[in-house]
Amino acid sequence: MLLLVVLLSLIAPGVCAAQAVTPSERDALVRLRVDRGGRAEEVDALLRLADGAAAKRLPVTPLTNKIREGLAKGADPKRIELVVRQMSTQLETADGLLREMETTPPNTAREASVTLLAESLAGGITPDEVRDLRKLAPMSSESLPSAARGLAFIKDAQLSVPEGAAVMAEAVRKGFRSSEVLDLGREVRRREADYRAGRASLRTLRDAIARGDRPEQLFRDSRPETVTTRPAATRPETPAERPARPEATRPEQPTRPGR
């Protein structure tokens, strides 16, 4: 009897982890598919993928959101399955990369870290590039996903990945918050035309961060003016002369003869 209790205590966490969505959420997704002419079995097959990710202690919210999005758009379940499988692989890879670090994020932040790092992989960053980025500066399990996502923005702009990694690492080294590191990469991609034309460079950006420039200073000078000034209306130097009105002439009064 004692052995049975021990075994149940060991498998219970795994059983709980395998619960991806609640029954009410499952019913809502099934209804979403059926209302569009599909079958409930198609939804069950998709949710089994989310259950499999939950059994591996991976975040399932991105998967269920993607399933819901696909069903709402009336997409082919086979297409949704392909996307969800790819996302599951990216989540598993991201989870493994974070586990390679000496410290792993606490349970409350782990899901967000894994999800953001998986988005970086979906954005084109490779696991080796994530490892190389981690070697450039001391990074926590929370700062690494932000730096990797910022680097994915830079890579998406077809700029140098090593130089972009140096920018991200310098920002982390200088104490930029995770959101600021992420916005840094997003801002570079937004200005990709300037960087690709040579009007700006990643090395100059890195040097500015190394000098101590804060996020609000880095792109201040190159931001386009958002407020346009309208030219003041000019009045003519001399007012236009108005034509003089002719004086009214009164007719002469006839003279009366004297009495």
pLDDT digits (tens, 9 = 90+) for 63-111: 999 999 999 999 999 999 999 999 999 999 999 999 998 666 556 688 9
- Residues 151/185, Cβ–Cβ less than 8 Å: yes
**Is the pLDDT assigned to residue 200 strictly greater than 80?**
yes
pLDDT of residue 159: 97
d(CA 15, CA 58): 14
Q: Which pLDDT band, with edges at 50, 70 and 90, does 219 fall under? A: confident
Of 111 and 1, the one with more pLDDT: 111
Over residues 206-216, the mean pLDDT reads 95
What is the sign, positive or negative, of the torsion defined by CA atoms of 30, 33, 36, 42? negative
- Residues 66/115, Cβ–Cβ less than 8 Å: no
Over residues 48-72, the mean pLDDT reads 93
Of 224 and 83, the one with more pLDDT: 83
Q: Which pLDDT band, with edges at 50, 70 and 90, does 4 fall under? A: very low
**Is the pLDDT assigned to residue 136 strictly greater than 80?**
yes
d(CA 92, CA 231): 59
pLDDT of residue 64: 94
pLDDT of residue 7: 39
The CA-atom distances, in angstroms, between 75 and each of 27, 134, 199, 224 are 18, 38, 43, 41
Nearest to 127 by CA among 99, 163, 106: 99
pLDDT of residue 25: 86
Q: Tokens representing 11?
A: 């498998």
d(CA 163, CA 125): 14
d(CA 99, CA 161): 24
Q: Tokens representing 100?
A: 């390679």
Nearest to 120 by CA among 39, 32, 181: 181
Q: What is the pLDDT of residues 155-186, one digit of tens each?
A: 999 999 999 999 999 999 999 999 999 999 99
Q: What is the pLDDT of residues 104-135, one digit of tens each?
A: 655 668 899 999 999 999 999 999 999 999 99
The pTM of the full predicted model, rounded to 2 decimals, is 0.75
pLDDT of residue 37: 84
pLDDT of residue 147: 97
Nearest to 164 by CA among 185, 134, 141: 185
Residues 6+ apart with CB under 8 A from 161: 129, 151, 154, 155
